[in-house]
Amino acid sequence: MQILIRADASTEIGSGHIMRCLTFADMLRKEGATVYFVCRELKGHLCGLIEAKGYHCLRLPHLKQTFDQQKDAQETLLLLEFNGLKFDIVIIDHYLIDSLWEQAVRTAIPNIMVIDDLANRKHDCDILLDQNYFKNFEIRYDDLVPTGCNKLLGLKYLLLRPEFYEENTVIDKKCKPIQDLLIFYGGSDPTNETVKVLEALDQIKLTDLTIRIVVGLSNANLKLIENRCRDRNFHFYVQIDYLAQLMKKADLALGAGGVTMWERCYLGLPSIITVVAENQKASTEAAAKYGAVWNLGWHENVTVSNLVDIINNAIENPDVLKNMSIKAKQLLKSDVKYRTHPVIEAIINILR
């Protein structure tokens, strides 16, 4: 299988698309696939990380003007032609790409898969993956994809890193006082939620409480956060590949919505969520309504005082966190194991 992935990262976009695609690429490589990436060199791109993981990354130049998907498609096709590359399928994880780009690239690549969660534009694709939980998630794409498109919708198709699938990784959260608190708001944390939490922790009694702060290399406030953690004797981690291990140790997490929210739910880790992007709102609200997380709401409305109150509430009510853990694992069906992940099966089937 020759597979191409088109995705971007930047300080503005964040790192989520690339991190998800790296997880996907690792799964595909285990099935014998050769995987290439095409990424644009935006400020905060992760091309170096992709290459460090052992993948070829074909680079598109930084854009000085608004994203033009027709031009992007042409530049992508020229890159493939220049390098003499042929692919069986292209996987697109990009909010600015729709059927216009896909139809142009289909002239060179016969099969197209789209990863999306917005359901706000048409796609010309053979497989559509939306691994989120929404109200009416089964019908969101009915008028947006071709009739024969294989729609992979819902948490059954969630792409988790291998560490989350390892035997005995699911946490059994007992009703006990909080001893370990994990804070991670994504690789770039563009809305600066980590610093907000650090300010809240300054106002909370932290006796016998271990604090772990995780950031990505693209976090603009990395040095500031590192210094604050050193001053408070908090554990500080940068661009790690063992987040599941920290989640297993933690009794409570604070973070954003998105894939990492589902990772915490899969492990039964109680979470306090701040919504930092529009595409996180509906899924976070649905998870909170189910009882799997606490939703603080839109980041601009979340204050340091809100964080102090909800963290203190969590510390004082371990029984509530135990129930949240149970609901999170139920929602994610954490006890279900797959020999071959259903998304990988879908790709294998279309390329037969």
Give the confidence band of 155 by pLDDT, cuts at 50, 70, 90: very high
Stretch 73-86: mean pLDDT: 96
φ, ψ of residue 271 to 5 degrees: the values are -135, 145
pLDDT (tens digit per residue) in 98-129: 999 999 999 999 999 999 999 999 999 999 99
pLDDT of residue 173: 59
pLDDT higher than threshold 70 for residue 313: yes
Q: Kindly tell me if the per-residue pLDDT of 335 is higher than 90.
A: no
- Token pair, residue 265, equals 């739910």
The torsion defined by the Cα of 267, 269, 271 and 275, in degrees rounded to 10, comes to -10
Q: How confident is the model at residue 6 (pLDDT cuts 50, 70, 90)?
A: very high
Domain boundaries, the chain: 2-162+337-351, 171-332
Answer whether CATH 3.40.50.2000 is correct for domain 171-332. yes
Query: What amino acid occupies position 42?
Result: L
Apex CA 290: angle with CA 285 and CA 296, to 5°?
A: 40
What is the Cα–Cα distance from 348 to 72, expressed in whole angstroms? 27
Q: Does 263 appear as a known binding residue?
A: yes
Give catalytic status of residue 341 as yes or no: no
Kindly tell me if the per-residue pLDDT of 137 is higher than 90: no
Mean pLDDT value across residues 187-207: 93
Residue 174 pLDDT > 90: no
Q: What are phi and psi of 53, to 5 degrees?
A: -80, 0
Q: Average of pLDDT values for 27-34?
A: 95
Burial code (b: 16+ CB inside 10 Å, e: under 16) for 233-257 equals: ebebbeeeeebbebbbebbbbbbbb
Burial class (CB in 10 A: 0-12, 13-18, 19+), 224: middle
Q: What is the pLDDT of residue 170?
A: 56
**Res 167: pLDDT:** 43
What is the mean predicted confidence (pLDDT) over 192-198? Answer: 97
What's the whole-model pTM score?
Answer: 0.85
Q: What digits encode the pLDDT tens for the residues 281-300? A: 999 999 999 999 999 999 99
- Whole-number average pLDDT of the chain: 93
Class in CATH terms, 2-162+337-351: alpha beta
- Please tell me whether 316 is known to bind a ligand: no
**C-alpha closest to that of 345 among 149, 164, 130, 157:** 157
Q: Give the separation between CA 171 and CA 182, rounded to whole angstroms.
A: 15
